[in-house]
Structure 1
Amino acid sequence: MQRLKWLAALVLILTAGSVSAQSTIDSDSLLQQAQVAARQGNYSTSRKLARQVLRVAPAYTDAAILIGNTYTWEQKYDSANFVLQPLLSASTPTADLYLALIRLGLRSKTSPELILHYADQGLVIAPQSQELLEYKIQALIQQKKYLEAEKVLESLPQQNSFYQRTKTQLHDLASINSLHTEYQYATFSTAIPSWHLASLEYTRLLAPGSIGARVNYANRFEQQALQGEVDFWPRLDEKTYLYLNAGFSDSKLFPDYRAGLEAYRKLPHNLEASLGVRALIYSQETVWLYTGHIGKYWGKYWAGMRPFIQPQQGQVQATGILQLRRFLKDENQHLTLTLSKGSTPDMQVGLQEINRQDANKIGIRSQFRLGASFFWGAVLQFEYEEVSKESSRNRYTTGLSLQYKFR
C-alpha cells in the first residue's frame, strides 16, 4: 500500500511538470506568433496573442512590453504608457522595458531628461547595450551636453555608422566659432567693368544666441569701398528669436549706415515664419525694405519664400525670392536653387542697383564638407536686369566660399 502511494505521488509530480512545461512551450509559441504579427503591422492580432500569453503566464513581461510597443507604433501613446509604466514597479525591470519606454518617450516628445533617465537605468542592467548607449547620446545632445556625449560615444565601435555620423555631428555642434570668407565676380553683357564683392566674417555662438562681425569689400564702377556689419540672433524662447543688424561704411558704394530687425517664429508642421524691416541710409536718400519669410522643412528638403516691399517715389515695388534646398549627408552640406522676380537684390550694396526697374534671377549655391572643420561652397547665377525703361543687361555671377568651424 505504501509502495502504491509513492508511485501515485511520482506520477503526480511528473504530470505537473509536463503540464508546466507545456504551458511554457505554449506561451513561447504564442509570443513568437505575436511578434511576427507585430512585424507585419497586424497590431490588433499581435495584442490579442500577447494577452493570451499573459493569461497563461501573467509574469511574462515580454508579452506586456510587446503590447506597449504596438500601441506606440500606432501612436496611441496614452495606451502604451498605461501598459508600460506599471511594469516598472510590478516586476523587475528589464533592458527591453526601458527601451520600450524610450521609444514611447521619443515618439510622444517626452523631455530629453526623462529619456536620459531611462537610458541610464537600462544601462545598469545591460551596460553593453549599443541601442541604449545610442539613445543616451541622443538625449545628451538634445540637452547640449556635447562633451558628455562624446565620452559615451567613444565606448561604441568606431566602424559603427552611428559612431561616424554622430562624431561629425558632435564636432559641428561643439564648434561654437566660425570663420567664413566669400568672393563673387560679376560680368555683364554690356560694356561695364567687372564687379567684385568679397566678405570676411567671424561668428560665435553664445548663451543668448549667435553674434557675428563682418567686413565687406566691393569694387564697382572703378571705385573700392568697405563696410562693417554686426549681426545678432538672440533667442527669446524655444520657438522665437530675432535678427538684429547694424552696419556702416565709407559711403562710396555701400549705404552710409544700415540697420535691420526681423522676428522669427517656429510653427507646427516644421514651418517657420518671420516679419522684418531693413533701413539703408545713403547720402542721397533712405531706402526702407519691408520683408519676412515663410519656410518649411520636410525630409531632406527645405523651401522658403521671401518678399521685399520697397516704397519709392510714391510707388511700391515688390520682389519675391523663392528658394529650394536639398540637404546632402548632413545639414551643413546642401544644394540651393534660387529664383527671384523684382527689383530688390538679395545683396543690397549700391543705390543704383537697388533702384533698378526690374530683374529676373536664377541661381545655384552649394556647400560641401572639406574635412572635419572646413567647408567650401560655390555660387553660379544669371540675372536679366532692367536698369531703366530704356536700358537692360545680363549679369553673370560666379563665386567661391570657405568656412572654418572650431571650438
Structure 2
Amino acid sequence: MSRKWRIGALSLIITLHIITKKAFAQHIAPVDSLFKQAQELAKAGKYKNSRKLARQVISIVPQHTDAVLLIGRTFAWQNMSDSAKATLLPLIQQAPPNQEALLVLADAELWAGEPEQSLQFAETGQKAFPASPFFLLAKARALHHLKRYKEATEVVRAIPEEQPQYEAALTLLEKIIDASMVNRLRVVHQSTVFMESMSPWHLSSIEYTRLAPKAKFLARASYAQRYSKQSIQGELETYPQLTKNTYVYLNAGFSDNKLFPTYRAGAEVYQVLPFKIEASLGARTLFFPSETVVLYTGYLGKYFQKQWLSFRPYFQKQQDGWQTTGIVQLRQYLKHEDEYLTLTLAKGSTPYNLVGFEEISRLDAARVGMEGQFRLGKSYLAGGTLMYEQEEYESDASHNRITMGLSFQVKF
C-alpha cells in the first residue's frame, strides 16, 4: 500500500472514531437523564412509569444492568416475585452472578411469603461472595421466618461489628430472641357492672400457650361468678397448620355445669388468600343441660402495613328463624407486633364472652369497646379492656352494662 493510501486510511479511521465518539456521547446524555427519571419515579412509588422509562434505557443500551435491577426492584416492592425473578434471573445465571440481583431476589421471595426460596438465593450469594455481610443478613431473615431460630442466631452473630449492617443485625437478633420465646402464660380478669340494679359479674382465666413450628396449643382454665353462683371451665385449643396457606382451629371444653356449658366444641378452617387477606368458616357447639346451641361463624380479615381489619358474623338457628350477629374490629399495631389498640363494634345477640345460657337467649345487643396491649420489657405484656353494651332480653326491657378487664402475660 502506497504512502498516500496509508495516510487516507488513517484519516478515515480517525474521522470515524470522532464521529462514533460524538454519537455515543449524544446517546449517553439522554440515557442518563432517562435513568435518573426512572429512579425518581420509583422513589415516588410510580413503579409502572418507572419500568417504562427503564425499558427505554435498555432499548438504547441493552447492557444497562442498573436499569434491569431497577425493574426487578420495583416488581419486588409490589410483591410481584415471579416478575422480579423473570427480570433478574439472567443476571444471576452469569459468572460471577450479579450481587445486587441476588439480594433483590432474596428480599422479593421473603416479602412474597417464600422464605425457603429466599434462603436459597441468600445461600447462593453467600457462596459467591463469602466476604459480603449482606447475604448473612438475608440468610438470617429467611431462617427467622422459617422459625429456625438457633441457626438464625448463629448467622446474625457472624456479622462483624465494623460492618454497616451490624445495627440491622442487632435489631433482627432482638426479634429472633423474642420469637424464640415459645411459651406464654396469661392471666385475665374482667368485671361487668350494670346500670340497673344487678350484682356485678366476674370472669377470670389463666391460660398457657405453646408455639410450635407448625401449630399453636393452648390450655385455659376459667372461673365465673354470676347470680351468686360460681363455676369453672377447662378448655383445650390448637391451631395446626395443614398447608402453607391453610390452618384450622379446634376447641374442646368441659365444665362443672353450673354456669358454663357442660361441654363445648368448635372447629374452623382458615385460608390465607392473596393480598394478605384471610377467610374462614366454622362452628361452635355448646351443650347446655336444657338445650344444645350451634353457632355458625366465619371470618374475613385484611392486614395492612400497621393495621388489621376484620369482620366476623355469627348465625344461630332458632324456632322463629335465624339470629345474626356482626362484629367489626380495627386494630392499630404500635412499635412492636405485641403492642396494639383495637376498636370493636358489634350488633347482634352473640355475647363477647360466652358463659351462661341466658346470654345466648337474649334478643339483641349493641356493643362498642376498646382493647389494648403494651410491653413491659422484653418478656412481659399488660393489657386492658373497656366495653359498653346495651342488651335486650325482652322486647320492652333492656340492660346497659360496662365491662372492664385487665390482663398480664409473660413470655419465656
TM-score (norm 1): 0.82
Counterpart Cα distance in 2 of 1:159 and 1:103:
15
- From 131, 134, 137, give the equivalent of 1:131: 134
2:253 to 244, 247, 251: 247
Distance in 2, matches of 1:334 and 1:291, equals: 25
- 8 Å CA contact retained: 2:108, 2:118: no
Asked whether the equivalents of residues 30 and 52 of structure 1 are also in contact (C-alpha less than 8 Å), the reply is no
Unaligned runs of 5+ in 1: 1-17
Partner residue, 2:360: 354
Aligned equivalents of 1:133, 1:178: Cα separation in 2: 30
Measure the CA separation in 2 of the matches of 1:137 and 1:149.
5
Asked if 1:326 is matched to 2:329, the reply is no
Answer with 193-202 or 312-321: which moved more: 312-321
- The yes-or-no answer on 1:381 pairing with 2:384 is no
Cα distance change on mapping 1:302 and 1:69 into 2, 3 Å: closer
Determine helix, strand or coil for the equivalent of 1:346. coil
Instruction: Work out whether 1:370 is the aligned partner of 2:376.
Output: yes
Q: CA deviation at 1:116?
A: 2.1
Q: Which residue of 2 aligns with 1:345?
A: 351
1:36 is matched by which residue type in structure 2? Answer: K
Distance 1:279 1:40, change over 3 A: same
Assess, with a 3 A threshold, how the Cα gap between structure 1 residues 156 and 217 changes in structure 2: closer, same or farther: farther
The CA deviation at 1:377 is 0.6
Q: How does 1:289-300 map to 2 (within 5 A)?
A: 289-300=295-306
SS of the residue aligned with 1:185?
strand
Deviation at 1:231, TM superposition (A): 0.9
Unaligned segments of structure 2, at least 5 residues: 1-17, 42-49
Moved more, 68-77 or 367-376: 68-77
1:294 and 1:189 map into 2 onto residues whose CA distance is 34
Contact kept, 8 Å, 2:183 with 2:210, in 1: the verdict is yes
Q: Aligned partner of 2:142: which letter?
A: A
- Shifted more, 41-50 versus 65-74: the winner is 65-74
Counterpart for residue 95 of structure 1: 99
- Give the match for residue 256 of structure 1: 262
- Over 3 Å counting, the alpha-carbon distance change for 1:67 and 1:336 in structure 2 is closer
Contact 1:80/1:104 (8 A) holds in 2: yes
Distance 1:97 1:258 in 2: 54
Bigger Cα displacement from structure 2, 22-31 vs 182-191: 22-31
The residue that corresponds to 1:14 in the other structure is none
After superposition, the C-alpha distances for 1:167-192 in whole angstroms (9 at most, x for unaligned) are 34323322221111100011111121
Shift of 1:37: 3.5
CA contact 2:193–2:201 (8 Å) conserved in 1 = yes
Structure 2 CA distance for partners of 1:86 and 1:180, relative to 1, 3 Å: same
Aligned residues of 2:96 and 2:128 also touching (Cα < 8 A): no
Answer yes or no: is the 8 Å Cα contact 1:153–1:163 preserved in 2: yes
Partner secondary structure for residue 202 of structure 1: strand
Residues in 2 aligned to 1:116 and 1:213: alpha-carbon distance in whole angstroms: 34
Mapped contact 1:176–1:405 kept (Cα < 8 A): yes
Residue in structure 2 matching 1:179, options 185, 188, 206: 185
Which of the residues 141, 156, 159 maps onto 1:153?
A: 156
The answer to whether the 8 Å contact 1:342/1:360 transfers is yes
- Partner residue in 1 for 2:280: 274
Deviation at 1:76, TM superposition (A): 8.1
How far does the alpha carbon of each residue in 1:87-141 deviate from its partner, in whole angstroms, 9 at most, with x for none? 445443342342244355456x484334323323333454454433332222212
Contact 2:51–2:70 under 8 Å retained in 1:
no
Change (3 A) 1:333 1:104: closer
- Amino acid paired to 1:93: P
Q: Percent identity?
A: 41
In the TM superposition, what whole-angstrom CA distance separates every residue of 1:325-372 from its partner, at most 9, and x where no partner exists? Answer: 111123221111111111220211011222122211111011111211
Does the Cα contact within 8 Å between 1:33 and 1:49 map onto a contact in 2?
Answer: no
Matches of 2:34 and 2:127 in 1, distance apart? 28
Distance, in Å, in 2 between the alignment partners of 1:330 and 1:205 is 18
Distance in 2 (alpha carbons) for counterparts of 1:80 and 1:308:
42
Contact 1:341 1:361 in 2 (8 A): yes
For residue 204 of structure 2, what is the aligned residue in structure 1? Answer: 198
